[in-house]
Amino acid sequence: MLAKDLISDIVPALQTSDTGQKALNWMEVFRVSHLPIVNNKEFLGLISDTDIYDLNMADEPIGNHKLSLFSPFVYADQHIYEVIEIIARLKLTAVPVLDRQKNYMGMITNHDLVQYFANLTAVKNPGAILVLELHQNDYSLSRIAQIVESNDAKILSLYIQPHEDSTKMDLILKINRVDISSIINTFERYDYMVKASFMENQELDSFYANRFDEFMMYLNI
């Protein structure tokens, strides 16, 4: 998926004639702390709620102030992983999207990314989560898939989380069955370390929330 595929059709851009208060109101409504300032299709920069408060400009047009605007952006044809990386690294709540001629096309918010991540990890599909801990040299996707499929199940999604300063990693599997007891038993029989499993809806909701935070932090390293 490319950046252009996640452009929000709801969150508007600011113009220099808009007041700081209008910007703050929009930020509250759309639950972001950053908004782009655009002149026609020209991207002028990104303004934050902190900028507005620091300059005490709530009742004046944004264009009345000489702003040293922060200007991060992504191109429309960049991969969504690059969007996640820049948002995590710069701690943004939204990032503008430009075409290769530097024309403003729209913006992507954290909410858009959360929805994408939910689809990527098959959150909406029924099933359970299994976390294996293993050495990186022991990782074999074909072997792991064979174990899961030998129990009449399928892997819906998976991702790897390396351990810091270690050759070990966590392998997180989303499996298309709610009861994965037999799968766990098979992994243990083949000497895999089963670190955790989540089979109840409440556990899964908590797991996904925590893992998304860890995923964003990992990209920020």
The reply to whether 145 and 175 lie within a common domain is yes
The reply to whether 12 and 110 lie within a common domain is yes
Q: Which domain covers residue 166, as residue numbers?
A: 121-219
Instruction: Tell me the DSSP string of the chain.
Output: -BGGGG--SSPPPB-TTSBHHHHHHHHHHHT-SEEEEEETTEEEEEEEHHHHHHHT-TTSBGGGS----B---EETTSBHHHHHHHHHHHT-SEEEEE-TT-BEEEEEEHHHHHHHHHHHTTTTS--EEEEEEEEGGG--HHHHHHHHHTTT--EEEEEEEEPTTSSEEEEEEEES-S--HHHHHHHHHTT-EEEEEE-SHHHHHHHHHHHHHHHHHHHT-
- Among the three residues 117, 132, 150, which one is the final residue of a domain in this structure? 117
- pTM over 0.95, yes/no: no
- Among the three residues 99, 117, 135, which one is the final residue of a domain in this structure? 117
Could you tell me which residues are beta bridge partners of residue 155?
Answer: 175
The reply to whether 91 and 153 lie within a common domain is no
The reply to whether 125 and 113 lie within a common domain is no
The reply to whether 100 and 150 lie within a common domain is no
Structurally, the chain folds into a number of domains equal to 2
Q: Provide the CATH number for the domain around residue 81.
A: 3.10.580.10
Would you write out the chain's pLDDT as a tens digit for each of its 221 residues? 899 999 988 899 999 899 989 999 999 999 999 999 998 899 988 898 988 888 787 788 887 766 656 788 999 999 988 998 898 888 899 999 999 999 999 999 988 888 777 776 656 678 899 999 999 999 999 999 999 999 999 999 888 888 888 899 999 999 999 889 999 999 999 999 999 988 755 555 555 556 666 666 655 54
Burial environment of residue 9 by CB neighbours within 10 A (0 to 12, 13 to 18, 19 or more): exposed
The reply to whether 168 and 95 lie within a common domain is no
The reply to whether 146 and 84 lie within a common domain is no
The reply to whether 113 and 7 lie within a common domain is yes
Integer CA distances (angstroms), 177 to 99, 110, 153, in order: 42, 30, 7
Task: Name the residue with tokens 């819906």.
Answer: 156
Could you tell me which residues are beta bridge partners of residue 174?
Answer: 129, 157
The reply to whether 10 and 74 lie within a common domain is yes
The reply to whether 8 and 103 lie within a common domain is yes
> Do the strands 94-98 and 74-75 form a parallel or antiparallel pair, or are they unpaired?
parallel
Q: Provide the CATH number for the domain around residue 163.
A: 3.30.70.260
